[in-house]
Each structure stands twice: as structure tokens, then as C-alpha cells.
Amino acid sequence: MKYSYNTASPDRYLLLKQKAKELKKIPTEAESLLWEHIRNKQLGAKFNRQHVIGDYIVDFVCLKKELIVEVDGGYHDTAEQREADAYRSKELERLGFEVIRFNNDEVILNINNVLNRIEDRLLKIDSKI
């Protein structure tokens, strides 16, 4: 399988990789909580966090199943950001990934539902393979 994350130009990749490193050091509360539940293959699949794919840094990705999980903070509620997020998701899908999004409150207030939805998506991907 050729992973489609090898798409960033070398000069941009270095900048994005450095930014991803910085983001790993300052996760949001929701990102930390979700990471504690999906790290170490707890859902049966390996996830990476703050990973460079194309010209983007995604919150979490299961490369093997080409599933991206994004956790959106409050600023994602503006019309401009929703439009940017939709474009970003389409670009990531064009690269072969499926994108699932949750907002911070969903993760913090109902982590079990979020985990169930991620597991369901992983199972659906398995059934396509």
C-alpha cells in the first residue's frame, strides 16, 4: 500500500513537521483525553497524532486504515472556518483518507460515544477491504 501522506513538498514538510512537534507539546484538553483512549492500539488500530499529510497537520490518523480524526475547538464554529475545514477535508479525502470530526465538547462530555463512532468507522473500513 502506498501511503498518501508522502505528498508534502520537501520545503513545506520541514516547516509542517516542526509545527507538528510544537503542537504535540500543547494539546487541548479534548485532544489529550482522546489520545489517552486511542493510543497504543486501544481501539485495535494504531493512531499517530499531529501527523503531516500533504500540506496539513491532522490531529490523529490511522495510516493503515487511512482514517483521520479531527478534534475541533470553538473557533471552528465560524462560517469561514467551517468552509476552510470542509475544503481541508475534501483535500484529505482526495489523498485517499476518510475524515471524521468531533468538537471539543463531544470528546470531553461524551468520550464513550466518540470512541464508539471511531470504532464503527474502523469496522466499516475493514469491511471494505
pLDDT, tens digit, 9 for 90 and up, residues 60-87 = 999 999 999 999 986 656 778 889 999 9
pLDDT at 128: 75
Kindly report the pTM of this predicted structure. 0.89
Q: In what order do the strands lie in the sheet with 56-62?
A: 48-53, 56-62, 67-72, 98-103
Number of helices and strands in the chain (H, E): 5, 4
Domains detected in the chain: 10-128 (3.40.960.10)
Q: Are 100 and 67 in contact (CB under 8 A)?
A: yes
Q: Which residue has the cell 500533504?
A: 54
pLDDT, tens digit, 9 for 90 and up, residues 4-62 = 455 677 888 889 999 999 999 999 999 999 999 999 999 999 999 999 998 999 999 99
Q: Are 71 and 109 in contact (CB under 8 A)?
A: no
pLDDT, tens digit, 9 for 90 and up, residues 77-113 = 677 888 999 999 999 999 999 999 999 999 999 999 9
